[in-house]
């Protein structure tokens, strides 16, 4: 996608769409309002970006309608060529929720698009600058920020003669945050409590009701006079 003739806003919208895309069908149908909020762009900018992606052959748009014929959110599909060519273009689902600048998102996403199966890539600063349509100085700042935020790791590389080579950039894989771990633990505890409650309920159902026990022993509780009367009747 970064090699296509698409502008910065179009790249950003494409990244936003990837959050919702179905990996099997390559389709999604988020509302335009949601995309505007995620990408922090206006509706007119979104429309231009969508048109740019469609014209570049990156995206297909299909109108959708409700049963009463009123229009609902469109369906967007990444072209089959883009799906087959994006083997390692896996961007964090929350990348647009981390408070990053557009420039940081752009650089991070480009690194993801060229990373290998081990999440490493080796582009030059110049190449990143050209593909992201940002100045070299802006790229350097964005890279430093991404490293400081632990989204990527950078390792300097040198030739045998001491000359500098392209850096190695590693995409740091998303980890489960402590809050998510606590939520999982709480769910497990809740499941245990429910299981204990169900087991206790089963035990209670197996124990005869006290009134039934009294009914079974009611003859022994009768006064002796009543017992003798019963014997005479029998």
Neighbours of 167 (CB within 10 A): 15
What secondary structure letter does DSSP report for 225? H
What mean pLDDT is reported for the chain? 77
Sketch the domain layout of the chain as residue ranges: 1-86, 88-174
Q: Given its phi and psi angles, is residue 170 left (phi above 0), alpha (psi -120 to 50 degrees) or beta?
A: beta
Model-level pTM greater than 0.75?
no
Q: Is 149 exposed, middle or buried (0-12, 13-18, 19+ CB in 10 A)?
A: middle
Q: Do domains 1-86 and 88-174 have the same CATH topology?
A: yes
Is the CATH code 1.10.10.10 the one for domain 88-174? yes
Structural fold of domain 1-86: Arc Repressor Mutant, subunit A (1.10.10)
Instruction: Extract the tokens encoding 212.
Output: 């039934």
In tens digits, what is the pLDDT along the chain, a chain of 234 residues? 676 678 888 988 988 888 888 877 888 889 999 999 989 899 999 999 999 999 988 889 888 888 888 888 888 888 765 554 443 367 787 888 888 999 999 999 999 988 988 999 999 999 999 989 899 999 999 999 999 999 999 998 888 887 788 899 999 986 544 455 455 556 556 656 655 555 555 444 444 444 444 444 444 444 555 444 544 544
Give the whole-angstrom CA distance, residue 100 versus residue 103.
Answer: 8
Give the whole-angstrom CA distance, residue 132 versus residue 135.
Answer: 9
Q: For tokens 């009294």, name the residue.
A: 214
């Amino acid at each position: 996608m970064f090699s296509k003739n698409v502008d910065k806003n179009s790249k950003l919208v494409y990244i936003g769409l990837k959050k919702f895309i179905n990996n099997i069908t390559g389709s999604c149908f988020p509302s335009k309002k949601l995309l505007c909020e995620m990408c922090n762009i206006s509706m007119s900018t979104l429309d231009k970006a969508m048109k740019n992606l469609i014209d570049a052959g990156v995206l297909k748009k299909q109108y959708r309608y409700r049963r009463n014929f009123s229009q609902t959110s469109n369906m967007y599909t990444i072209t089959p060529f883009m799906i087959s060519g994006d083997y390692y273009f896996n961007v964090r689902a929350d990348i647009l929720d981390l408070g990053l600048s557009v420039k940081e998102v752009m650089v991070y996403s480009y690194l993801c698009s060229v990373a290998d199966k081990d999440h490493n890539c080796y582009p030059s600063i110049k190449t990143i600058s050209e593909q992201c349509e940002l100045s070299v100085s802006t790229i350097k700042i964005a890279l430093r920020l991404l490293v400081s935020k632990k989204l990527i790791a950078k390792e300097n590389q040198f030739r045998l003669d001491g000359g500098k080579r392209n850096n190695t950039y590693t995409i740091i894989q998303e980890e489960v945050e402590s809050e998510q771990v606590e939520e999982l633990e709480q769910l497990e505890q809740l499941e245990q409590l429910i299981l204990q409650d169900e087991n206790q309920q089963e035990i209670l159902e197996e124990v005869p009701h006290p009134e039934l026990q009294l009914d079974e022993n009611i003859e022994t509780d009768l006064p002796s006079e009543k017992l003798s009367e019963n014997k005479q009747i029998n």
